[in-house]
Amino acid sequence: MARTVDLRSDTVTQPTEAMRAAMFAAPLGDDVFADDPSVNALQDKIAALLGFEAALFMPTGTQSNLCGILAHCQRGDEYIVGQFAHTYRWEGGGAAVLGSVQPQPLTHQGDGTLALADIEAAIKPDDAHFARTRLLTLENTWGGKLLPLAYVQAATALAQSRGLGRHLDGARLFNAAVAQSAQRGSDPYAEAREIAQCFDSVSVCFSKGLGAPVGSALCGSKALMARAHRIRKMAGGGMRQAGLLAAGASHALDHHVMRLAQDHALAQTLADGLAGIEGLVVEPPQTNIVFVDLEGAARARSAQLLDHLKSQGVLATGLYRLRMVTHLDVDADGVAHAVAAVRSFFGA
């Protein structure tokens, strides 16, 4: 049977045999009673790793972000967020629908940042006419782009100086940390902690590049996590023998962080292989996500391209802007096959 190269997302990863063994051997309890030892160990591990007092294991990153935002904000409050941030655009409007918390979306700059002047201008005065601005939410990585550390420090310092809370959607925080460590010649775990410490709360996803099957964690102070815990309960996020899942996430933290550099290198190989094809504009990847814009005659054939790739066992998303994501289940041969499939379609 022909192989499938699944580049749709890093969420499609399958647990490794070692991860399956760790999950199978995990001691279990009832997390709603707070006595699942594997969940408690994971929460302690990720909190300590990122420099926080406490953490909460969540079923999804969407729920983790929701609980974080609602733990910071009350009804009638507002959070500042990017127009194309996941917490605003792709999480069903949860904060507004479930928490009556108003988003104030800002336009992203080309590098994924929100201009400091725009953040400053978006903070409302203390006036009954306005929602109360309570929180700045950033995302790192954003569209595969690493937010520069100096920018993160400046933006969060601005928010703090204006009395705002600071939340990070760090779904791919460890991709950011690995990319930042490559720039600075440092340890990815230390970089993850340095990024995280710019914020009051951080959501981290285990089921993307880290390769666990399910789960995210929200990290913050004990007081903030107590509020988030109540919200998690209302949102249906109390799980019972969740240690089976937590053990996979814990294994990922120990064994799958450093290997993210391989995904980044393969994304660059993929981008290089697609460069020079007429009608394709390849955005240079910074981590594990490659975007390819289709222009001119190539744009008119975009639907046929996806069908062709699927017939060749290559899965991607997008239409006029293709998105291809490398991960632990994609190897060099898979990338070469994907490049060959695209080139065969265009006769390149």
Neighbours of 275 (CB within 10 A): 13
Contact 17, 238 (CB under 8 A): no
For residue 17, how many other CB atoms are within 10 A of its CB?
A: 8
Neighbours of 213 (CB within 10 A): 18
CA-wise closest residue to 99 among 126, 130, 128, 135: 135
Query: Tokens at residue 313, please?
Result: 């066992």
Q: Does the predicted TM-score (pTM) go above 0.75? A: yes
What secondary structure letter does DSSP report for 321? E
pLDDT at 2: 64
Give 169-238 as a 3 state SS string: EECCHHHHHHHHHHHHCCCHHHHHHHHHCCCCEEEEECCCCCCCCCCEEEEECHHHHHHHHHHHHHCCCC
Q: What span, in angstroms and rounded, lies between the C-alpha atoms of 279 and 155?
A: 37
Map out the domains of the chain with their CATH numbers: 17-255 (3.40.640.10), 259-346 (3.90.1150.10)
The confidence score (pLDDT) of residue 1 equals 42
Residue 131 is predicted with a pLDDT of: 96
Using alpha carbons, select from 178, 170, 140 the residue that is nearest to residue 258.
Answer: 178
Is there a contact between 132 and 125 (Cβ–Cβ < 8 Å)? no
User: Amino acid identity of 25?
Assistant: A
Q: What is the pLDDT along the chain (348 residues), one digit of tens a residue?
A: 468 999 999 999 999 999 999 999 999 999 999 999 999 999 999 999 999 999 999 999 999 999 999 999 999 999 999 999 999 999 999 999 999 999 999 999 999 999 999 999 999 999 999 999 999 999 999 999 999 999 999 999 999 999 999 999 999 999 999 999 999 999 999 999 999 999 999 999 999 999 999 999 999 999 999 999 999 999 999 999 999 999 999 999 999 999 999 999 999 999 999 999 999 999 999 999 999 999 998 999 988 999 999 999 999 999 899 999 999 999 999 999 999 999 999 986
